[in-house]
Structure 1
Amino acid sequence: MAVVRVRQHVNPLSDKYQQPASAPVWEKVYAELKQPLHLDIGCARGQFVLEMAQQLPLWNFLGLEIREPLVIQANKLREEAGLTNLHYVFCNANNSVRSLLASLPAGVLQRVSIQFPDPWFKKRHQKRRVVQPELVAELAEFLPVGGTVFLQSDVEEVAIEMCDRFQEHPGFVRQNQEWLKENPLSVQTERERSTLERGEPVYRAVFERQGQED
Structure 2
Amino acid sequence: MIDLYYWTTPNGHKITIFLEEAEIPYTIHPINIGEGDQFQPEFLKISPNNRIPAIADNEPVDGGEPISVFESGAILEYLAEKTGKLLPLEIRDRYEALQWLYWQMGGLGPMLGQNHHFSKYAPEKIPYAIERYVKETSRLYGVLDKRLADREYAAGDYSIADIACYPWIVPYEAQGQNLDDFPNLKRWFEAIQARPAVQRAYAKAQEVNSNNTMSNEAKKVLFGQDKR
- The normalised TM-score by structure 2 is 0.34
**Larger RCO, structures 1/2 (Cα 8 Å, 6+ apart):** 2
Structure possessing the higher radius of gyration over alpha carbons: 2
Larger proportion of helix: 2
TM-score with structure 1 length normalisation?
0.36
